């Protein structure tokens, strides 16, 4: 005879199996706003794709954002450019009139502002569409120079989607990025790596460590510390919940560079939403991300979410 207590025990066991390897929930969405689009017949038309924000308090604007375009598999590096936009409220953005500020071979810029210096990381591509990550610096946030190679080209590999983060908890810089062999005929891999350094100028010399990995499409990491937890966001395409569309999934950990487990309320974004960048401003969590209006024709805009 099956008793009520037996049924409850079985249900509890099944729930435990379902949640094994998962952490608590990612914060819930409070507001979701369209913030940025490319201009018609312009260098950024229909292709705005990533949005890296720093609190700079310069030139009459509190927030400075560095953005770039989709244009992934194209071999023409001249179409990969980077631009600047500025805002005082994270919603209304004014494009810099002399855009683009990076004129070629710039994809996925990510910026940190420390000690009155802007440090920009982005991906460059060679003729084989292998990618590497470079770093440039600037005092005014407009003219970037002193390029240094952070992760070099490696034949058949991608080193891209950088996200630079200064961790106030330990005063270290962390460079998260995607490394993989997505173009291989077999044994494809998608890894999220991180480099850690107290001195951002020596981060190029640090050996990366693996944070998470997958045998299906996973890239575009970003990290934030919120509610005493570290949250790692990634974009995924072929996971069981994606249904042939881009989704954004979250992981949670007590440590910034290890121990990440998927949260219980994935996907965080599910409608061809990718390229998420996390930020905490004034003790509030924000995420900028790219939404595909038409994935087949690669038409994108940028949106901003404020979380509870």
What sign has the CA pseudo-torsion 254, 260, 168, 304?
negative
| pLDDT average per 10 residues of sequence, the chain (308 residues) | 51 46 89 97 96 98 98 84 98 98 98 98 96 99 98 98 99 99 94 99 98 97 98 86 83 99 97 98 98 95 98
Q: What is the pLDDT of residue 47?
A: 96
CA-closest candidate to residue 219, choices 267, 167, 181:
181
Whole-angstrom distance, CA of residue 298 vs CA of residue 224 = 28
Strand partners, 248: 235, 269
- pTM across the whole model: 0.92
Residue 123: name the closest of 174, 72, 84 by CA.
Answer: 72
- Please give the Cα distance from 119 to 27 (Å, whole number): 29
Q: What integer pLDDT is reported at residue 46 of this predicted model?
A: 95
Looking at domain 30-307, which CATH architecture does it have? 5 Propeller (2.115)
Angle at 267 between CA 275 and CA 130, to 5 degrees: 35
User: According to the model, what pLDDT value does residue 18 have?
Assistant: 46
The per-residue pLDDT for 19 is 44
Position 243 scores a pLDDT of 65
What was the pLDDT predicted at 76? 81
Contact (CB, 8 A) for 247 and 265? no
For residue 240, the number of C-alpha atoms closer than 13 Å in the C-beta half-sphere is 1
pLDDT of residue 20: 43
Contact criterion met (CB below 8 Å) for 113 and 75: no
Cβ atoms of 146 and 136 within 8 Å: the answer is yes
């Amino acid at each position: 005879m099956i008793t009520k207590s037996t049924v409850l025990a079985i249900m509890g066991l099944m729930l435990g199996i379902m949640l094994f390897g998962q952490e608590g929930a990612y914060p819930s969405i409070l507001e979701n706003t369209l913030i940025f689009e490319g201009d018609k017949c312009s260098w950024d038309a229909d292709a705005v794709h990533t949005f890296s924000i720093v609190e700079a308090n310069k030139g009459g604007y509190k927030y400075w954002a560095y953005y770039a375009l989709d244009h992934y598999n194209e071999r023409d590096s001249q179409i990969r450019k980077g631009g600047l936009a500025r805002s005082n409220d994270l919603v209304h953005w004014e494009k810099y009139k002399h855009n683009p500020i990076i004129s070629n071979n710039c994809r996925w810029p990510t910026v940190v502002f420390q000690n009155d210096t802007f440090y920009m990381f982005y991906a460059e591509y060679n003729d084989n569409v292998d990618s590497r990550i470079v770093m440039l610096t600037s005092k005014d946030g407009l003219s970037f120079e002193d390029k240094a190679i952070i992760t070099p080209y490696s034949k058949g590999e991608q080193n891209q989607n950088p996200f630079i983060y200064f961790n106030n908890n330990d005063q270290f810089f962390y460079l998260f990025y995607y490394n993989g062999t997505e173009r291989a005929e077999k044994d494809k891999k998608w890894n999220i790596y991180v480099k850690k350094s107290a001195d951002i100028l020596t981060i190029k010399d640090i050996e990366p460590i693996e944070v998470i990995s997958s045998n299906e499409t996973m890239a575009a990491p970003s990290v934030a510390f919120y509610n005493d937890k570290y949250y790692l966001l990634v974009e995924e395409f072929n996971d069981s919940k994606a249904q042939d569309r881009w989704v954004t999934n979250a992981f949670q950990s007590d440590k910034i560079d290890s121990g990440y487990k998927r949260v219980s309320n994935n996907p965080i974004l599910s409608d061809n939403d990718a390229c998420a960048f996390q930020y905490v401003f004034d003790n509030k969590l924000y995420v900028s991300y790219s939404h595909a209006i038409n994935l087949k024709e690669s038409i994108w805009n940028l949106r901003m979410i404020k979380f509870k």
